[in-house]
Amino acid sequence: MHHEILQYIRSIVGPENLLTSREELLCHGMDAGSASALPIGVALPQKTEQISEILKLANRYDCPITPRGAGSGMTGGCVPIEGGLVLSLAKMNQILEIDADNLTCVVEPGVITGELQEELRKQGLMYPPDPASLKFCSIGGNAAECAGGPAAVKYGVTRDYIMGLEVVLPSGEIITTGARTEKSVAGYDLTHLFIGSEGTLGIFTKLTLRLLPLPPARTTFLLLFDTLTDAAAFVSLIMKAGFLPATIEYMDQTAIGVVRHHLTDLLTSDTLALLLIEFDGSVIETREQQDTFSDFLLRQNIVFTRADSPEEVARLWKARRILSPSVFSLKPHKISEDVVVPRSKIPELVHYCEKLAHELDIIILTFGHAGDGNIHVNIMLDKADPTEHQNGLLARERIFQHVVSLQGSISGEHGIGLSKSKYLSLELNEATISLMLKIKKLFDPNNILNPGKIFPSQPDYSKRPKT
């Protein structure tokens, strides 16, 4: 059957757009997480109609289809765990239109996020969502996971900037959702149903994005703290004082140690946590924010540095953006989580992680988007040590339970995918998951599209904490 279906797919996309060598299959059988699986082939369509034909064929042959963006996800969302075909959107990578008058653009899903931002910047425009992987992640993947990033505290996440979609359904039908206007209540809001659905309900082929004028000025602060609790608590204090930074990034002592060589001259010997805070806006507005915030920090006796040059700003952000890949200097493996709690609960979360690391004798570091409560928890371990590996898995489950007890969520921007599916029942009750499964069944009755993702095969509601 594999040979027959591959022959059909080759005729749809052309021989040069169907990959079947073992090396190519291996490269497309994994993401930035730890899971991997081999597909029977990798198709690289260049037109919506080709995707439609492939999905119709998949239903006929009962062949799983795993959509793939740039493969930068962390939860196994694009790993073809049930075999079948990987459908890569890498060649659908055109910016189709930029409408500066109406602050919108239309792109294909394979457009790299950072490249879109660079192109918009030339026209004085911005697309705010800025995940750490923006130099290589794709817009389609961002939409599938509802990616966030440092700017989410002020500007929101991916779903806030997608106005409409062209989508190929699992049946092969092609639909459009949303509109190119700021207001539209014609029918159900299907656009936001698809955003964050992790490639389980349809495949995006065009995305209409909302843009903003590019702020002409920004100012960046580095705040240093000698206790973890003080840094975490200060986030809520900033917001309650009436400030609205574009970003509030947080690092604990272990995270700082990983990138300290980039910041040596800016840190004190007793720095145990830091906040990286940025304001943007008009020149006058930004200058006022800079002065007002500096006065506020002085009144609070906070040790801080203001980056006064583009080079200093770039150095601070480089240290933040390289943090996630740099943590492998601590241990060869990591469990990377992106939990979210209400801002006021951040001190409880980071204190719990610190306590858990001591109790289980493992390394747990915390950093991330403190402005919206989205803290990245990295559990560092060596899988060759069975005890350490088991304690890492135990720590992940306990952290998830604690996060839900704090009225938080087990995922803020990475999605559920494969790696978190067994924990979904910690956050969602039986009736909620049942409704989601009915929606999946309605869209994809043959379970063709990205099977095995999001939903646990045997939900365990007994471990769900009371909130």
pLDDT tens by residue, 434-447: 999 999 999 999 99
What's the rounded Cα separation, in Å, for the pair 425 and 464?
7
Residue-range definition of the domain harbouring residue 73? 2-88
- Condensed to tens digits (0 to 9), the pLDDT of residues 168-201 reads 999 999 999 999 999 999 999 999 999 999 999 9
Is residue 125 within 8 Å of residue 98, measured between CB atoms? yes
The CATH number of whichever domain residue 60 belongs to comes to 3.30.43.10
Stretch 220-241: mean pLDDT: 94
Residue ending a domain, among 88, 109, 125, is 88
For residues 254 and 297, state if they share a domain. Answer: yes
Using the predicted structure, report yes or no on whether residue 406 has a pLDDT greater than 90.
Answer: yes
Who has greater pLDDT, 453 or 461? 453
Residue ending a domain, among 88, 110, 143, is 88
CA angle in degrees (0–180, nearest 5) for 179-182-187: 45
Is residue 192 within 8 Å of residue 143, measured between CB atoms? no
For residues 266 and 304, state if they share a domain. Answer: yes
DSSP characters for 176-200? Answer: EEE-SSS---SS--HHHHHTTSTTS
Nearby residues of 88 by Cβ (< 8 Å), 6 or more positions away: 28, 42, 43, 44, 68
The CATH number of whichever domain residue 399 belongs to comes to 3.30.70.2740
For residues 59 and 43, state if they share a domain. Answer: yes
For residues 164 and 109, state if they share a domain. Answer: yes
The CATH number of whichever domain residue 147 belongs to comes to 3.30.465.10
Structure tokens at 447: 């379970």
For residues 386 and 298, state if they share a domain. Answer: no
For residues 175 and 282, state if they share a domain. Answer: no
- Domains: count for the chain: 5
For residues 238 and 303, state if they share a domain. Answer: yes
For residues 202 and 101, state if they share a domain. Answer: yes
The predicted pLDDT at position 250 comes to 94
Stretch 282-305: mean pLDDT: 96
What single letter denotes the amino acid at residue 124?
A: G
Instruction: With CA atoms as reference, report the closest residue to 323 among 310, 313, 311, 336.
Output: 336
- Condensed to tens digits (0 to 9), the pLDDT of residues 360-399 reads 999 999 999 999 999 999 999 999 999 999 999 999 999 9
What single letter denotes the amino acid at residue 218?
A: R
The predicted pLDDT at position 467 comes to 60
Instruction: With CA atoms as reference, report the closest residue to 336 among 44, 16, 73.
Output: 73
The predicted pLDDT at position 324 comes to 84
Using the predicted structure, report yes or no on whether residue 1 has a pLDDT greater than 80.
Answer: no
DSSP characters for 98-133? Answer: EETTTTEEEE-TT-BHHHHHHHHHTTTEE-----TT
Phi-psi region of 98 (alpha: psi -120 to 50; beta: other; left: phi over 0): beta
Within 242-304, residue ranges assigned H as helices are 253-263, 283-299
Residue ending a domain, among 196, 213, 230, is 213
For residues 200 and 118, state if they share a domain. Answer: yes
For residues 232 and 312, state if they share a domain. Answer: yes
For residues 135 and 157, state if they share a domain. Answer: yes
Using the predicted structure, report yes or no on whether residue 211 has a pLDDT greater than 80.
Answer: yes
Using the predicted structure, report yes or no on whether residue 322 has a pLDDT greater than 90.
Answer: no
DSSP secondary-structure letter at 461? G
Chain CA centroid to CA 99, Å: 27
Using the predicted structure, report yes or no on whether residue 141 has a pLDDT greater than 90.
Answer: yes
For residues 56 and 154, state if they share a domain. Answer: no
Stretch 5-34: mean pLDDT: 95
Residue 132's pLDDT band (cuts 50, 70, 90):
confident
DSSP secondary-structure letter at 239? H
Is residue 145 within 8 Å of residue 191, measured between CB atoms? no
DSSP secondary-structure letter at 30? B
What's the rounded Cα separation, in Å, for the pair 243 and 100?
30
